[in-house]
Amino acid sequence: MNDKRQAFLGSWEQALRRLSEALLLDSSDRIVIDAAIQRFEFCFELGWKTLKAFLEFEGYAPPTPRQTLKDALRIQWLNDEEAWLQMLQDRNLTSHTYHEALADEIYSRLANHHARMSELFGFLNRHL
């Protein structure tokens, strides 16, 4: 296996596990919400970079997260464009601003985001 892909998969697996742990905690605590969102950001970053590494191995050269997602959708490695673009939008929003109401809204989507990323992780792990 290509070392770059393997390294990304290992890091992403650990980040997904840490997000899963955060999602099990009591969300009535603002710190838990903030921590879960931060862990989501790490997961999304590692996810799109892992996906990019796999696409590059297949001959693609996506320069951005959005193009990486579009290429993966085109070759049917991803099947829910709306969900992945929502993840990208959520990551962009949380990376550049903080509003409590927005944090709550994004937090409410994290379990779904985690599920989608876990599905992709499993696919890429089997794709090798």
Look up the CATH number of the domain holding residue 76: 1.20.120.330
pLDDT value, residue 97? 77
Give me the pLDDT at residue 96, please.
80
Q: Specify the pTM.
A: 0.94
Q: How far apart are CA 60 and CA 80, in angstroms?
A: 20
Q: Which residues contact 73 (CB under 8 A, 6 or more apart)?
A: 79, 81, 84
> Which pLDDT tens digits describe the chain residue by residue (128 residues)?
568 999 999 999 999 999 999 999 999 999 999 999 999 999 999 999 999 999 999 999 999 999 999 999 999 999 999 999 999 999 999 988 789 999 999 999 999 999 999 999 999 999 87
Choose among 63, 69, 115, 62: nearest CA to 88: 69
The domain tally of the chain equals 1
**Structural domain of residue 12, as residue ranges?**
3-127
